[in-house]
Amino acid sequence: MSPETATTETTTPELNAEAAISDPRALTIPNVERVLDELRPYLMADGGNVEIVEIDGPIVKVRLQGACGSCPSSTMTLKMGIERKLRESIPEVSEVVQVL
Question: What tens digit of pLDDT does each residue of 30-85 get?
Answer: 999 999 999 999 999 999 999 999 999 999 999 999 999 888 999 999 999 999 99
Model pLDDT, residue 15: 52
pLDDT value for 8: 36
End-to-end CA distance of the chain: 41
| pTM, entire model | 0.76
User: Long-range contact list for 50-57, CB < 8 A, 24+ apart?
Assistant: 50/82, 53/99, 55/14, 55/27, 55/28, 55/29, 57/94
